[in-house]
Amino acid sequence: MRLLLLLFASTLINMNASSQSAYEIKANITPYKSGYLYLAYHFGSKQYLLDSAKINANGDAIFSGPEKLPGGVYMIVFPAKNGWIECIMDKEQQFSVSADSSDLINSLAYQGSSDNTIFGNYQKKSAEIGAQMVGLKTQMTGKPGDPTYDAANAKMKILGKEMQEYRDNLQAQHPTHLLTAIFNLLKEPAIPAASEHPGGKYDSVFAYQFYKNHYWDGVSFSDARLMRTPVLQTKFDRYFDEVLPQTTDSLNHYADQVLAAAKPSEEMFKYVLSSLTDKYVNPKFMGLDAVFVHLFETYYITGQADSWMNEKYRKYIFDRGYSLMANVLGKKAAELPMVDTLGKPFSLYTLQAPFTIICFWDPTCGHCKEEVPKVDSIFQAKWKQEGVKLIGVMTDGGKDNWLKFIKEHKLNGWIHLHQTDETRDKITKAGTPGYRQLYDVYQTPVMYLLDKDKNIVAKKINYKQVDDFMAFRRKPVK
């Protein structure tokens, strides 16, 4: 959520800007009679402090501000920041809350807010059922079939049904309440019985497709309150990380679907686009940065984020976008306008080889000093005999250090390249991207694997992974 914090840091207003209060929360938490209480809010997977209020001699602290707060789940945090109580902020924003920190749930009481009275009653009911569940679990010391185990298990099912009925009734009676929206986020799609699958028997493909297609049932992406709950980001991440196929085409398709659903709410659209950007600008798995490139081309370049991007964020996004556009997996690798150790010009596309490896390195880089000799070892022992071409590109460190390292470590058979100052200046004056941007080389070493047509097969991987990729690509298709 690093990018989200950058974007949303200034969205909530200064609470002391006016004496006219659009919201006012009076809090009294036993036993605190001095110090400060803090108002905080959930945002994505994190929580952020919003304001503080001094506790008077009666134990009261009052939070107030001139504009209504965005809807969501907020927290009143204790002086030592070692605990809190939660409250709903929605249409009703003038209320009081009291509790005893030694027994928060049972002592919790709200006045002046029907939303929070409903919320408080739910918390008490959930705690009551939860306590009974914990007690029953201690009785389940045997195994299924044992009378004690089965009796406790049956009671747990009854309690589970009771809790679900409570939630269902709450949703039916209060369809616009934030709790109703939260319950919809927490619901799992109910896979139809096997008899309802094609052919009348269980079909794992059907079950998966049903689950995926009904994952967001009941959830409105135009409801900006969901951003400020502790559950949306978890469900969102699970959908993109675990539920969807981890291919760029699928991820692009479903990213567009979710963004289209969020479009009616500018705030939610910003949240979803920022979450997806944060996830794929530096993804966990190689190649999925193509999803970020899709977002960049579809939403950022077209100006759909211009209204809320600050200059720092805009520069970061556009620098990364233009850098990654050139090296998406499957695309042709960019030419390398460089010369070899003798000053002879080089052209990548004159090389004939089943695979070409490009290693960007710096002779003064500690990691390079360790990795480059290992790359050479496997090249000399294996890759060279397989017809693989290995290009070494000096990024920094000075020509003398570069030549010295090549000689001392006997990096024979490599195609050693560097860019002249004249070529670099020419590229800069022309305003065209250099090799660092085209290959996203901002640290070293960086390795690329190209196929015989110079399409990018893999990038930013180590020499062992390069070898594995080549072995995999050589396997005959069955």
Are 51 and 142 contained in the same domain? no
pLDDT at 139: 84
Per-residue pLDDT tens for 418-445?
Answer: 999 999 999 999 989 999 999 999 999 9
Are 135 and 94 contained in the same domain? no
Are 140 and 164 contained in the same domain? yes
Structure tokens at 230: 């502790």
Which 3-state string (H, E, C) describes the chain? CHHHHHHHCCCCCCCCCCCCCCEEEEEEEECCCCCEEEEEEEECCEEEEEEEEECCCCCEEEEEECCCCCCEEEEEECCCCCCEEEEEECCCCEEEEEEECCCHHHHCEEECCHHHHHHHHHHHHHHHHHHHHHHHHCCCCCCCCCHHHHHHHHHHHHHHHHHHHHHHHHHHHCCCCHHHHHHHHHCCCCCCCHHHCHHHCCCHHHHHHHHHHCCCCCCCCCCHHHHHCCCHHHHHHHHHHHHCCCCHHHHHHHHHHHHHHHCCCHHHHHHHHHHHHHHHCCCCCCCCHHHHHHHHHHHHCCCCCCCCCCHHHHHHHHHHHHHHHCCCCCCECCCCCCEECCCCECCHHHCCCCEEEEEEECCCCHHHHHHHHHHHHHHHHHHHHHCCEEEEEECCCCHHHHHHHHHHCCCCCCEEEECCHHHHHHHHHHCCCCHHHHHCCCCCCEEEEEECCCEEEEECCCHHHHHHHHHHHHCCCC
Domain boundary among 169, 186, 203: 186
pLDDT < 70 stretches in the chain? 1-20, 477-478
pLDDT at 14: 39
Report CA 402 to chain centroid distance, whole Å: 39
pLDDT at 2: 44
pLDDT at 12: 43
Find out whether 179 and 218 touch, Cβ atoms under 8 Å. no
Q: Give the CA angle between residues 407, 411, 415 to the nearest 5°.
A: 110
Nearest to 308 by CA among 18, 4, 19, 65: 4
Are 443 and 365 contained in the same domain? yes
Are 355 and 469 contained in the same domain? yes
Are 55 and 161 contained in the same domain? no
Domain boundary among 186, 207, 224: 186
pLDDT at 478: 60
CATH of the domain at 465: 3.40.30.10
Decide if 330 is inside a domain: no
Are 313 and 350 contained in the same domain? no
pLDDT at 4: 43
Q: In angstroms, rounded to a whole number, what is the distance separating the alpha carbons of residues 216 and 222? A: 13
Are 460 and 399 contained in the same domain? yes
Please give the tally of structural domains in the chain. Answer: 4
Per-residue pLDDT tens for 141-161?
Answer: 878 888 888 899 999 999 999
Are 390 and 440 contained in the same domain? yes
419 Cβ partners below 8 Å, 6+ apart? 337, 338, 339, 434, 435
pLDDT at 477: 60
Domain boundary among 265, 295, 325: 325
pLDDT at 463: 94
Find out whether 457 and 450 touch, Cβ atoms under 8 Å. yes
Q: Residue 399 is which amino acid?
A: K
Q: In angstroms, rounded to a whole number, what is the distance separating the alpha carbons of residues 430 and 104? A: 66
Are 318 and 411 contained in the same domain? no
- What's the domain range around 32? 10-112
Q: In angstroms, rounded to a whole number, what is the distance separating the alpha carbons of residues 377 and 443? A: 22
25 Cβ partners below 8 Å, 6+ apart? 39, 62, 63, 64, 76, 87, 93, 95, 96, 97
